[in-house]
Chains A and B, each alone.
Chain A
Amino acid sequence: MNALLMSRRDAVTLAIFALVVLTMPVWLQPFGAAYPGLMQKFAIYAIFAIGFNILFGLTGYLSFGHAAFLGVGSYTAVWSFKLLTMDALPAIAFAIILSGLLAVVIGYLSLRRSGIYFSILTLAFAQMCYNLAYSVLTPITNGETSLQLNLRDPRIIDSALAPRPAGLPSAGLFGHTFTGLEGFYFCAAALLIAFFIAQKIFASPFGMMLRGIKSNQTRMNYTGFNTRPYALSAFVISGMYAGLAGALLAVTDPLAGAERMQWTASGEVVLMTILGGVGTLIGPVLGAWIIKYFENIFSAFNEQIVSRFFDFLPAGAHEVVTAVASKFVGEGWNLTLGLVFVLIVVFLPGGIMEGVRRIAHLFDKSRRAPKAPAKLSTQPAE
């Protein structure tokens, strides 16, 4: 009971966040992004980024290997589908446990170093996982062909409960198979729970200890804290978040490939977090959405769409603008993303959330300005 209590501010944030997430199918319509496949990704990568930020944002330890946990989560979930049942919950539970265990090992070793050495160690471990998936572990990972469902899978629990369906099954919940938007709402529910837990962590004494580690680890030690287990706990929790995200990727599409563990995927979550705002609750979510939007929507734009967009320009200018702009869409979406990233990091080092804060501050000031003298007089004399 006590564990569910939260400050009013956090409760309001959670309510607004829930509203925004659950109405995605509506407000994403004008952006052309309201289809289940993409919205699921929005929810899943938001979970990945929130978890990553619990480590990076609170403790300052920058992991470059979090995709390993994402991959392990996916593989575990697919195996749970193959061996036991297409139900999403056991798959998720196993994925979280296994990625958590892997995080204990990688975290225990990597956290013996800090700064760039820590980052390099996590990167090395993730690349080892990636290479293992392609070599020694092919019986488990199915190597380059990716791990997939198969008509001959035992699916012990499902087979015992009901006659086997003809084709390949899809994931579901309690015997019901997800169709339409259900998969998205399932991921959205997971996102809301993940967000809620992150809020609790941010507001807890534990979260304060993690901030202390980021701010001054020496002081933490001389204040009587054993900082190692604190940092390791944060590492494991964020690994479990990644495992959950990996499992959800498998729930929405029961397939797991090693490329999910590649360093580019680890780098992507770093970008999401920095773009949105390191150490904030909402920032990583925004970062994840923007990057996934660019990756999926911007990359699909072609010259015709751009040309139509600039139709209002006079003939000569139209050609030039279209030619230039079309370099930044389609295949060039990475270019746009890079540009946005550079602009944000240079002008808003705190990410999008810093921009939001600055704007809110401006409004605050203009609202308060006329009242300023009155406010001064109410201050107690010291």
Chain B
Amino acid sequence: MAVPNVVLHVADVHKRFGGLHALADIDLQIEEGQTHAIIGPNGAGKSTLLNVCIGKLAPTSGTVVFDGQVLTGKKPHEINQLGIARVFQTPEIFADLSVLQNVMIPALAKRDGAFKLNLLRSLDSQTTIRAEAEDMLEDVGLFGRRDTLAGSLSRGDKRRMELAMCLIQHPRLLLLDEPTAGMSRHDTNTTIELLKKIKSRGMTKVIIEHDMHVVFSLADKISVLAQGRIIADGTPDEVRGNPKVQEAYLGGTHQ
């Protein structure tokens, strides 16, 4: 089968934690420009799957290929520099820096690469980076809070800021681990709109979500994970109609 536009290919991945088979025989292809949702009950292995993709965990066996390059064995910063950014399930932010600084740092990573001894120029003089960060904050609705310490934001705002930190890098692949958890309905809807907007720019996304409203408004494809295995995948309609999924996960929550 010709698969010219597969951006991320997870091939035969297994992950064991001692006796626990957290991921079993995962085979997943994410296509360019699509939003691919991964759903499944708590403990299904969704976060573990993302951890394997970004190099936080090494798979017990199998490989992850991104755009022709094998990711397994690469360092987290190398994987990011290839164009993969991630929003974590528990926000990973710079709590004691300001919101603006939080967003400027990833912009610098994008511009300067993994390491650059940029000692003598002042950060304040980097007006393009600053303007870019401010625009990004405007997009996620945090511009008014740019001088606040990131640690004092609410949980929902932290997630939005973390999303901004990823988006400013214009990654080719964005991995989102429950991006709307802890948000109000209103903020969730704003985030959905934002994610739809990026989609129109052609960014590929993998999104883990419990909120079915979010999943069905965004996803082009859905994979259902249960006990470390993919039990179904396909378009939202196919998945919705799949009796196995109804039984394992959706139950009666979605009509």
**A interface vs B, CB < 8 Å?**
2-3, 5-7, 200-201, 203-209, 211-212, 214-216, 218-227, 229-230, 233, 382
Contact = CB atoms under 8 A, between A and B. Distances in A.
Contacts of A229: 115
B118 A223 contact: no
For the complex, would chain A's binding face be called helix, strand, loop or mixed by DSSP majority? helix
Nearest to A226: B114
Contact of B119 (A204, A214, A222): A204
Interface string B66-77: 000000000111
Interface string B17-57: 00000000000000000000000000000000000001010
Contact of A208 (B76, B105, B169): B105
B109 interface: yes
A214 B25 CA distance: 38
B96 interface: yes
Interface of B: 54, 56, 75-77, 80-81, 85-86, 88, 92-97, 101, 104-106, 108-110, 112-126, 144, 165, 169
A31 to B, nearest CB: 36
B106 A223 contact: yes
Contact of B121 (A204, A222, A224): A204
A7 B123 CA distance: 10
A208 B108 contact: yes
B123 A203 contact: yes
Contacts of A6: 122
A200 B122 contact: yes
Contacts of B110: 224
B120 A222 contact: no
Nearest to B56: A222
B117 A226 contact: no
A205 B88 CA distance: 25
Nearest to B171: A224
B109 A205 contact: no
Given A205-B108, A223-B106, A233 B117 contact: yes
Contacts of A220: 77, 105
B169 A224 contact: yes
Given A212-B105, A216-B95, A224-B169, A205 B112 contact: yes
Nearest to A222: B76
Contacts of B122: 5-7, 200, 203-204
